[in-house]
Amino acid sequence: MPGPVLSSEPGDSVEPDQLYDAYVFDLDGTIYLGEEFLPGAERLVRELRRRDIPVRFLSNNPTKDPAQYAEKLDRLGLPTPVAEIANTVVVMVRWLLEHHPGKTVYPIAEEPLVRALAEAGVAMSEDPAEIDIVIASYDRAFEYRKLQIAFDAIWFHQRAILVTTNPDRYCPFPGGRGEPDAAAIVAAIEACTGATLAKNVGKPDPDMLTAALAGVDVDPRRAMMIGDRLGTDIQMAVNTQMASTLVLTGDSTRAEAEALPEANQPTYILERVDHLIPAPLRAELGWTD
């Protein structure tokens, strides 16, 4: 029988003092960075699984599909079923099939999304006169030709809408580096067409959380969202009245979090993700930093 709904509010305490019924983790900047786990991440996930607490992973990065993320986690030493991973590739395809069946799309995207669209039977075209939806995504092969097609479909033919897989400005890399992300491509298309983005399917959109918790019989108010970005991970939790933790191992800083209105602040701010395990339990487990 479910216990009482947890009552944590933004700023309640420095660290969680109890375990939640399910945990949804961002990946890049939260669980790993590059090809290495972030401090404490692996032992945290293993301990939650040992206690039969559902763990799910959620990413705004559309350059991999869930199977590729599962392969990476397996390679790093944390085998994970594909069903426990959701990302914007999955959610974009679901959204198109549900809200725009039969429409023709032009994906400015990398192979995982293009492949997923084809497998789902979504019509694609590079002819601006046929395009109903331009998808702006993380695309490291973005070029003027692609911008022209989007421009013609949206501005000249006045028929296509602009959507995106995710609103991230950049993707973090080890050593403090990063790569321009989907928001840069959205901005380029908006700048030349005068169009406004019609839909973002990635975090902070609640559809992402629905995808992550599919099949998990847990009240979202008893689940926790953990990530490194205030504008996506934490805002999605705020939008769904879900507890959240900002980990200071990626994009956002403590000062940025504390500068937000109280209602938009994360429930917890942690230097290390394994501090999600309450301190007394960490002591019992013999964990040290």
Confidence band of 5 (pLDDT split at 50, 70, 90): very low
Read off the CATH number of the domain in which 126 is found: 3.40.50.1000
CB 170 within 8 A of CB 179: yes
Domain final residue pick, 180, 200, 220: 200
Q: Does 79 map to a domain?
A: no
| Same structural domain, 94 and 188 | yes
Whole-number percent of the chain with pLDDT over 90: 85
Token look-up 């092969």 returns 141
Q: Does 65 map to a domain?
A: no
Q: Does 11 map to a domain?
A: no
Chain centroid to CA 76: 20
Query: How high is the pLDDT of residue 157?
Result: 98
Q: Does 9 map to a domain?
A: no
- Beta strand 133-136 with 199-200: parallel, antiparallel or unpaired? unpaired
Residue partners of 35: CB distance under 8 A and separation at least 6: 76
pTM summary value: 0.86
From 249, 270, 250, 269, select the one nearest 260 (Cα to Cα).
269
Domain final residue pick, 200, 225, 259: 200
Domain final residue pick, 179, 200, 221: 200
Query: How high is the pLDDT of residue 96?
Result: 98
pLDDT per residue over 186-213, tens digit each? 999 999 999 999 999 999 998 898 889 9
Model confidence at 16: pLDDT above 60? yes
Confidence band of 37 (pLDDT split at 50, 70, 90): very high
Query: How high is the pLDDT of residue 210?
Result: 86
Residue partners of 175: CB distance under 8 A and separation at least 6: none
| Same structural domain, 257 and 275 | yes
Confidence band of 1 (pLDDT split at 50, 70, 90): very low
pLDDT per residue over 264-274, tens digit each? 999 999 999 99
Residue 162's SS3 state is: strand
Whole-number percent of the chain with pLDDT over 70: 96
* C-alpha to C-alpha distance for 142 and 136, rounded to whole angstroms: 10
Domain extent, residue 255, equals 22-60+203-285
Query: How high is the pLDDT of residue 220?
Result: 84
| Same structural domain, 168 and 229 | no
| Same structural domain, 212 and 180 | no
Confidence band of 10 (pLDDT split at 50, 70, 90): low
Q: Does 190 map to a domain?
A: yes
59 DSSP β-pair partners: 87
| Same structural domain, 36 and 48 | yes
**For the residues 252-257, what does the mean pLDDT come to?**
95
Query: How high is the pLDDT of residue 4?
Result: 36
Mean pLDDT of the chain: 93
pLDDT per residue over 114-134, tens digit each? 999 999 999 999 999 999 999
Query: How high is the pLDDT of residue 3?
Result: 38
- The number of folded domains in the chain is 2
| Same structural domain, 219 and 265 | yes
Q: Does 187 map to a domain?
A: yes
From 88, 174, 89, 183, select the one nearest 142 (Cα to Cα).
183
Q: Does 66 map to a domain?
A: no
Q: Does 10 map to a domain?
A: no
| Same structural domain, 257 and 169 | no
Query: How high is the pLDDT of residue 6?
Result: 52
